[in-house]
Amino acid sequence: MKSNWKIDRISKINLSILKLAIYEINYTEIPFKVAINEAVELAKRYGDENSKTFVNGILASIVKK
């Protein structure tokens, strides 16, 4: 995600999915690969056509840090 983006540009669905996955990655024993996969599946089901790629990219960049 570009650093000059504002959070309100992210759809409410994608934002909710990201919040859930970030919580799972940081505060639970769920492996990050499972959390990311679940988030991508939610994005496929409830988001638009670009949601899965967006969610996957954001979460992958978070895990790399």
Specify the residue for token string 């759809």.
11
- The answer to the question of residue 52 being in a domain is yes
Could you tell me if residue 2 is inside a domain? no
> If pLDDT is split at 50, 70 and 90, which confidence band does 1 have?
very low
Structural domain boundaries enclosing 36:
7-64
- For the stretch 12-40, pLDDT in tens is 999 999 999 999 999 999 999 999 999 99
Whether the full predicted model's pTM is greater than 0.85, yes or no, is yes
What's the pLDDT at 65?
76
Flag whether 41 is in a domain: yes
Residue 1 counted as domain residue: no
